[in-house]
Structure 1
């Protein structure tokens, strides 16, 4: 192609540096790479790949050629992403992840392979998207090793179920996969983290009653449990008190008498009762903390 020949496109570039860079590199100037027809994109990409091999990585010229190749082949990403349009993730996120695969393919492609770039790039793009789903689709994060083991277990269960005519046991799965039973159990437990259900979803127990949310059936901490624990911990501490101190506690917290009423019963002032209660409760509190 002639120096700086222009590829007809629907858009007009606003980046004035591009025409000069294309002319300097003896490449066709692509005003709007995203609007180039697929057949033209394949031909132009080949020219740009040939030029890319002669440029030093990191230079302005190298970045220009590489970036143009990315823009020229974004249609491959959109094509591959279309296979996953039924997923819950936003299509924009899938395209962004697929673009990473495209960039990896561009950096690793060699014309000497004598294969079309599209044929070489699509597996990279799809692979990157699938890795994205594998790493982000789990409701609970688990190590990659267990994520991959989940897939192997699912395949093994299908194969062995058909072969054995029953659901395979842990030992059968372990023998089939060449793993320890502990590893298989770990993988099965980890598989439970792949999806999570909302506790607000109705649960149908096949009874005559209407389905109610799971949250209505979940237990809650017993508010009296801590009190029961404290009472058990207090018993030996109370036994260490003398009779008068135990009587004061019984009147104040058992019979719920006022400090004035306790003072009248003991023949002391209300202020003295207050000091006695403060001393007794402080001793009990320090005893509880020492036990904990």
Structure 2
């Protein structure tokens, strides 16, 4: 069945279906004639082949009947709408498609939205002008997206153009529809092609920077500087740097991507630095510095011998000439004081 008839067959199609010749039900015998026991398997195979042939014939007859009903329904609907006969779409040239579109748009304005007739004319306009979508999509053939997806998005733009078009304005439909179709495709790339979502302002700035960079590179015979780009676009250097940084978000490389042949380094994941757990203690070290500076000289020396020189309490006692128990009390008092100082909220 033609796609434009999916929503466009009137109720009269049921009557046409009832008038179509019924597909005769094939007679199926209750059992096969008796055969010698030695030929039972051969008889069973022959019976299955016969039934399969009958089922295939039934399916083919049903399909032919359905196709005939669809053709008759389409012809009846064209007569009812007083439309010219529409040949297959691959045989319609651009000029003929433009003339048929005018006739269909004029008829569409007289139909009520939501009816079978309205849906038929609207779907016919879509299929008749799909060449505009394919022409617009060919401009984006170099993009990474599949051409089928681009055509599908462009078809959405075509449908929007059909719904907005007014024949009374005197504008040709291709002239009116092409900006809408191209705009829908560009919107698709803007919303889905970026690896990291950035504001639209930066997306447009990326295009301006790329265009200005090419122009300046041809004129200067070298890559332009940030100041030259800013002067060319009447922007500040900060805005140019921001736009250049945002350009890096357009595409992303896989961490497991293999390097090029002339690249001696490994994959990107192998070149990423490891996590330094020592960074977690920097905040505490910086906070302890003023607290340690306020301690007496003997307490500072005990801390240095214990935590820098890694000496035991007994060795510290021998170094300072005091008992190990005294060293333990001094160390506990000093650590409590430092711990209390860290817990104080400023």
TM-score normalized by the length of structure 1: 0.64
The alignment status of 1:80 with 2:136, answered yes or no, reads yes
Q: Deviations over 1:152-191 (max 9, x none)?
A: 1111122222333443333332232223333222222222
Is 1:173 the counterpart of 2:249 in the alignment? no
- Is the contact made by 1:70 and 1:102 (CA closer than 8 Å) also made in structure 2? yes
- What residue number does 2:206 align with? 150
Partner of 2:266: 212
Matched, 1:60 2:60: no
Equivalent in the alignment of 2:81: 26
- Partner of residue 173, structure 2: 117
Change (3 A) 1:98 1:206: closer
Q: Is the radius of gyration larger for structure 1 or structure 2? A: 2
1:219 Cα deviation from its structure 2 partner: 1.4
| Aligned 1:180-195 pairs, distance under 5 A | 180-195=236-251
Q: Is the 8 A contact 2:158 2:180 kept in 1?
A: yes
1:226 is matched with which residue?
A: 280
Say whether the 8 Å CA contact 2:4–2:124 is kept in structure 1: no
Q: Distance in 2 between matches of 1:133 and 1:109?
A: 25
Greater mean alpha carbon deviation, residues 120-129 or residues 133-142: 120-129
Does 1:141 find its partner at 2:197?
yes
CA–CA distance in 1 between the matches of 2:126 and 2:197?
32
Displacement, 1:23?
Answer: 6.6
How big is each residue's C-alpha offset from its partner over 1:224-270, in whole Å with a ceiling of 9 and x where there is no partner?
Answer: 33245446656788999xx9xx99xx8xxx8999xxxxxxx97xxxx
Residues 223 and 126 (structure 1), Cα distance of their counterparts in 2 relative to 1, 3 Å cut: same
CA contact (8 A) 1:10 1:35 kept: no
* Paired residues of 2:288 and 2:342 also in contact (CA < 8 A): yes
- The Cα shift of 1:49 comes to 0.3
Task: Output one character per residue of 1:20-40: Cα deviation in whole Å (capped at 9) or x when no partner.
Answer: 694797244989x98564336
Q: Which runs of 5+ in 1 are unaligned?
A: 1-8, 258-264, 267-276
Backbone CA RMSD of aligned residues: 4.8
SS in 2 for 1:87: coil
1:44 to 60, 84, 100: 100
